[in-house]
């Protein structure tokens, strides 16, 4: 075994083997894989090997497509068969709601270039004769589904990597990891030690333990999972072609052909976690005791829906553990604060996702960027609030809901409330309906007095529609109050603060006492942040951004900090705030602030310390609503005093509470983009239409050269605003945009603009079409709706309202 390598991949399951293969493919040959037993000794060996392109996140769906299409390549590169069976698949709907869910999935697939199709139940029965059509209303047909041999795939990755120069050491267990001062790692194994410039935790069932070796608590947990293989089924034997892969959502079962019978798996509602605290090191190529009682209810539905199964008998039952993250997507990428430690774990569908995970991680390691949009599986989407107990509750919930419908307005209840602000109970008493964002409870909307604070889950406009409309109108016409705890805020201090931020951010820094908006770019000139920067004077800046990206941004900030002269820290638990917005917000502020808050003293984009409600505070004159508005920040222990003061001062001004739903409607009317929707690392500032916030003449900032090159050539696409001819269902995001009968783009977010009375969508289209106002359609719930591009924002396009000098 070598004593020094560029990369040590820990774990020889399908994921570690894929990472190894992709590293060699990207040109890194000095790489080893360390496996404590035989390859596939975790969850890989007993997997059912099923694969499909279905995923709630379109970017992960695309990676799944990549994975499936890769198998032929690794067979050729290795000479090892993967036993590829592309059978196609049907996903069966038993209710109209499920049909809506499938239509949405089908529409999303369209803009990704995935070739899915909604089919009738008669057609589904023709393709899969075992089903009893009385139980179904329709189906989604997916030509890219099937199954592979799990061991064959893992061996193929490993052999192909070995052919390219990698080493694979079986029966070599990593027992400890010690960080070295230069950022490399001492990898301690039971067969000797290696110094590795990088380590990859691809330890699957032991990812937690290998995380702990570096002091990490990774949000990952294994669940028991059962499938059974039936005896011979005459219809299967008689079929001239292999049976399709099938998902029956109502029965919560999946199926495929196995030999002369069928393999049936289920995600039971009361799923059972495995090895909740510690995965035993002596677990290898073992199965857990089957417990058919747990899956009996699903099987009964299965027997009703597919009568031929009932007489087939059970040949074999498999119960094995595999791992999940709290939201079910993989955990991939570098870890904040740990140099050269990478993760590729919590991959719950290794045969659909393993290839894409390997590609993304190897790109990230070799080129510094995953190369495509991996936000949905970036390990940084969880902060340290995602504890072991949180993970346990969320993983159970996620497992039990694997085949359930997730409605776009649905907030899942497990592990809540977890993080709350001091005002939580007060807001609740006002009728707040809460959502959780990055673990934090925040008000989505407020149920009017006398009505239940609960939202119906639906694909259509919900019972929140009218109350949200009232909130929006109050903001536009009087004044509204919004808790802004979900915004992230970071304090940057030190002699070098200004110079550092200037290089980090694409815009020029504001003068003292001012705010400015700035994108942050990566080296490729792509958007990795959109911030509001406040200059507090005396080498002190506050950077405000999206709360869900806190870990993601801190990872970037900290990785780019100079050795001295700059300090950055999150003010999340120190500062808390409220926004007040609307034409009467200045009047309200003047009642609770002793300082002059007139237009001259506190002009648009001012930021300054002030005394508000007897508290030391900071006021920023800015609002995401597009109205005159202020963000007021105080120490957390002053939040209730500030809240009470705002309520008392606003009572006769028509003050209302508003929540995230109203804010979304108001910002859509203004065509304001949002992080993780309009702004993501696949877009450039020119494409996203925020190039006016880039100081192109600044001599140096990260991503400048690439962004300049992008600006010089015609951008590929543009963000535009549409008005959609919608009925009672608005676009929500990820719908395809059609033009002249072809899918040309996608929606990033949508909703109803209550104050302009129109259904609005923001989305990307090819740049050549961005000025064509006609000919567009947006597909909502299976129907193509006419959509017209707007030349400017629908509400106050000149931005006069937010600059209001007087009421």
Ligand X SMILES: Cc1cc2nc3c(=O)[nH]c(=O)nc-3n(C[C@H](O)[C@H](O)[C@H](O)COP(=O)(O)OP(=O)(O)OC[C@H]3O[C@@H](n4cnc5c(N)ncnc54)[C@H](O)[C@@H]3O)c2cc1C
- Interface with ligand X by CB under 6 A: which residues? 10-16, 34-37, 40-44, 46-51, 173-174, 202-206, 210, 225, 227, 318, 320-322, 345, 347-352
Please identify, using beta-carbon distances, which residue of 204 and 753 lies nearer to ligand X. Answer: 204
Closest separation in Å from C-beta 153 to ligand X: 10
DSSP string, 384-420: TT--HHHHHHHHHHHHHTTTS---TT----TT-S-B-
- The most distant pair of C-alpha atoms in the chain lies apart, rounded to whole Å, by 85
Cα separation, 600 vs 604, in Å, equals 9
Closest separation in Å from C-beta 384 to ligand X: 23
Please identify, using beta-carbon distances, which residue of 171 and 696 lies nearer to ligand X. Answer: 171
Please identify, using beta-carbon distances, which residue of 47 and 106 lies nearer to ligand X. Answer: 47
Please identify, using beta-carbon distances, which residue of 71 and 643 lies nearer to ligand X. Answer: 71
DSSP 92: E
**Which one, of 398, 390, 393, 407, lies nearest residue 330 by Cα?**
398
> Which pair of structure tokens corresponds to residue 90?
């049907």
Closest separation in Å from C-beta 16 to ligand X: 5
Closest separation in Å from C-beta 583 to ligand X: 55
Q: Is 677 exposed, middle or buried (0-12, 13-18, 19+ CB in 10 A)?
A: middle
Closest separation in Å from C-beta 45 to ligand X: 7
Closest separation in Å from C-beta 150 to ligand X: 7
Cα separation, 28 vs 385, in Å, equals 35
Q: Is 559 exposed, middle or buried (0-12, 13-18, 19+ CB in 10 A)?
A: exposed
Q: How many CA atoms lie within 13 A of 737 on its CB side?
A: 32
For the beta carbon of residue 411, count every other beta carbon within 10 angstroms. 15
Cα separation, 192 vs 392, in Å, equals 35
Cα separation, 319 vs 341, in Å, equals 32
Please identify, using beta-carbon distances, which residue of 259 and 408 lies nearer to ligand X. Answer: 259
Cα separation, 377 vs 221, in Å, equals 16
Closest separation in Å from C-beta 49 to ligand X: 5
Closest separation in Å from C-beta 285 to ligand X: 9
Q: How far does CA 503 lie from the centroid of its chain?
A: 28
Please identify, using beta-carbon distances, which residue of 148 and 588 lies nearer to ligand X. Answer: 148
Q: Is 274 left (phi over 0), alpha (psi -120 to 50) or beta?
A: beta
User: For residues 517 and 693, is the Cβ–Cβ distance under 8 A?
Assistant: yes
User: For residues 347 and 4, is the Cβ–Cβ distance under 8 A?
Assistant: no
Closest separation in Å from C-beta 54 to ligand X: 11
Please identify, using beta-carbon distances, which residue of 345 and 668 lies nearer to ligand X. Answer: 345
Cα separation, 4 vs 13, in Å, equals 23
Virtual torsion, Cα 426, 427, 430, 431, nearest 10 deg: -130
Cα separation, 744 vs 74, in Å, equals 32
Please identify, using beta-carbon distances, which residue of 362 and 488 lies nearer to ligand X. Answer: 362
Closest separation in Å from C-beta 258 to ligand X: 11
DSSP string, 345-372: E--S-HHHHHHHHHHHHHHHHHHSS-SS
The residue count of the chain comes to 807
Please identify, using beta-carbon distances, which residue of 349 and 579 lies nearer to ligand X. Answer: 349
Closest separation in Å from C-beta 684 to ligand X: 34
Please identify, using beta-carbon distances, which residue of 43 and 516 lies nearer to ligand X. Answer: 43
Closest separation in Å from C-beta 272 to ligand X: 12
Please identify, using beta-carbon distances, which residue of 46 and 608 lies nearer to ligand X. Answer: 46
User: For residues 673 and 693, is the Cβ–Cβ distance under 8 A?
Assistant: no
Cα separation, 445 vs 589, in Å, equals 23
Please identify, using beta-carbon distances, which residue of 211 and 673 lies nearer to ligand X. Answer: 211
Please identify, using beta-carbon distances, which residue of 258 and 441 lies nearer to ligand X. Answer: 258
Cα separation, 528 vs 688, in Å, equals 12
Closest separation in Å from C-beta 246 to ligand X: 13
List the beta bridge partners of residue 737.
745, 778
Closest separation in Å from C-beta 286 to ligand X: 11
List the beta bridge partners of residue 434.
443
Please identify, using beta-carbon distances, which residue of 193 and 493 lies nearer to ligand X. Answer: 193
Closest separation in Å from C-beta 263 to ligand X: 8
> Which pair of structure tokens corresponds to residue 501?
């931020």
Write 63-67 long-range contacts (CB < 8 A, 24+): 63/353, 63/355, 63/356, 63/357, 63/359, 63/360, 63/372, 63/374, 64/349, 64/352, 64/353, 64/356, 65/112, 65/114, 65/144, 66/355, 66/356, 66/359, 67/351, 67/352, 67/353, 67/354, 67/355, 67/356
Closest separation in Å from C-beta 287 to ligand X: 8
Please identify, using beta-carbon distances, which residue of 14 and 610 lies nearer to ligand X. Answer: 14
């Amino acid at each position: 075994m070598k004593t020094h390598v560029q990369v040590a991949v820990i774990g020889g399951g399908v994921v570690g083997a894929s990472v190894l293969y992709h590293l060699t493919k990207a040109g890194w040959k000095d790489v080893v894989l360390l496996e404590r037993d035989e390859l596939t000794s975790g969850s890989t060996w007993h997997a059912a090997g099923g694969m499909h392109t279905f995923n709630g996140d379109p970017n992960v769906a695309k990676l799944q497509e990549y994975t499936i299409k890769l198998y032929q390549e690794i067979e050729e590169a290795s000479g090892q068969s993967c036993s590829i069976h592309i059978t196609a698949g049907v996903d069966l709907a038993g209710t109209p709601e499920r049909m809506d869910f499938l239509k949405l999935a089908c529409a999303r697939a369209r803009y990704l270039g995935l070739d899915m199709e909604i089919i009738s139940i008669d057609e589904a029965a023709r393709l899969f004769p075992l089903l009893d059509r009385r139980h179904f209303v329709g189906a989604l047909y997916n030509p890219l589904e099937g199954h592979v041999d799990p061991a064959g795939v893992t061996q193929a990755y490993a052999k192909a990597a070995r052919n390219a120069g990698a080493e694979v050491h079986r029966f070599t267990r990593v027992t400890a990891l010690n960080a070295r001062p230069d950022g490399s790692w001492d990898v301690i194994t039971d067969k000797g030690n290696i110094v590795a410039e990088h380590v990859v935790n691809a330890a699957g069932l032991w990812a937690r333990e290998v995380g702990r070796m570096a002091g990490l608590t990774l949000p990952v947990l294994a669940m028991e999972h059962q499938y059974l293989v039936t005896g011979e089924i005459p219809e299967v034997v008689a079929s001239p072609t292999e049976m399709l892969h099938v998902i029956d959502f109502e029965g919560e079962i999946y199926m495929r052909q196995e030999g002369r019978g069928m393999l049936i798996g289920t995600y039971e509602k009361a799923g059972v976690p495995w090895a909740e605290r510690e995965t035993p090191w002596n677990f290898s190529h073992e199965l857990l005791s089957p417990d058919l009682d747990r899956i009996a209810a699903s099987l009964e539905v299965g027997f009703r829906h597919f009568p031929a199964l009932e007489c087939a008998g059970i040949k074999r039952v498999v119960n094995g553990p595999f791992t999940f993250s709290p939201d079910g997507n993989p955990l991939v990428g570098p870890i904040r604060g740990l140099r050269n430690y990478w993760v590729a774990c919590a991959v719950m569908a290794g045969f659909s996702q393993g290839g894409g995970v390997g590609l993304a991680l190897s790109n990230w390691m070799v080129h510094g960027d995953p190369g495509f949009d991996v936000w949905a599986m970036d390990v940084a989407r969880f902060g340290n609030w995602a504890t072991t107990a949180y993970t346990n509750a969320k993983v159970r919930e996620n497992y039990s809901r694997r085949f359930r419908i997730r409605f776009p307005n649905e907030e899942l209840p497990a592990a809540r409330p977890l993080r709350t602000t001091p005002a939580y109970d007060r807001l609740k008493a006002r009728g707040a309906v809460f959502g959780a964002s990055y673990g934090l409870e925040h008000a989505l909307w407020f149920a009017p007095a006398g009505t239940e604070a609960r939202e119906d889950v639906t694909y259509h406009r919900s019972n929140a529609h009218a109350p949200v409309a009232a909130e929006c109108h109050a903001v536009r016409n009087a004044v509204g109050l919004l808790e802004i705890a979900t915004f992230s805020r970071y304090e940057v201090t030190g002699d070098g603060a200004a110079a550092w931020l200037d290089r980090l951010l694409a815009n020029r820094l504001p003068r003292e006492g001012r705010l400015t908006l700035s994108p942050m770019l990566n080296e490729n000139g792509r958007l990795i942040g959109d911030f509001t920067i406040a200059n507090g004077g005396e080498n002190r800046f506050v950077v405000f951004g999206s709360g869900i990206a806190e870990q993601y941004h801190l990872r970037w900030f900290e990785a780019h900090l100079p050795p001295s002269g700059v300090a950055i820290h999150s003010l999340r638990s120190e500062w808390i705030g409220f926004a007040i917005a609307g034409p009467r917000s200045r009047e309200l502020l003047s009642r609770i602030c002793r300082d002059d808050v007139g237009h001259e003293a506190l002009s648009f984009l001012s930021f300054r310390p002030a005394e508000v409600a007897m508290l030391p505070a900071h006021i920023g004159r800015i609002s995401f609503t597009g109205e005159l508005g202020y963000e007021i920040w105080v120490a957390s222990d002053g939040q209730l005093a500030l809240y009470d003061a705002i309520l008392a001062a606003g009572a006769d001004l028509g003050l209302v509470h508003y929540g995230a739903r109203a804010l979304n409607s108001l910002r859509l009317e203004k065509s304001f983009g949002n992080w993780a929707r309009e702004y993501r690392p696949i877009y450039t500032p020119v494409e996203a239409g925020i190039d006016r916030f880039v100081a192109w003449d600044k001599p140096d900032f990260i991503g400048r050269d690439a962004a300049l090159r992008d600006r010089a050539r015609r951008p590929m696409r543009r963000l535009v605003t549409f008005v959609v001819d919608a009925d009672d269902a608005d676009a929500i995001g990820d719908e395809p945009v059609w033009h002249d009968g072809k899918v040309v783009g996608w929606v990033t977010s949508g909703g109803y603009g209550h104050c302009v009375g129109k259904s609005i969508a923001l989305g990307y289209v090819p740049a050549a079409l961005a000025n064509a106002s006609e000919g567009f359609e947006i597909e909502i719930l299976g129907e193509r709706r006419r959509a017209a591009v707007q030349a400017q924002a629908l509400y106050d396009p000149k931005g006069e309202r937010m600059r209001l000098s007087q009421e």
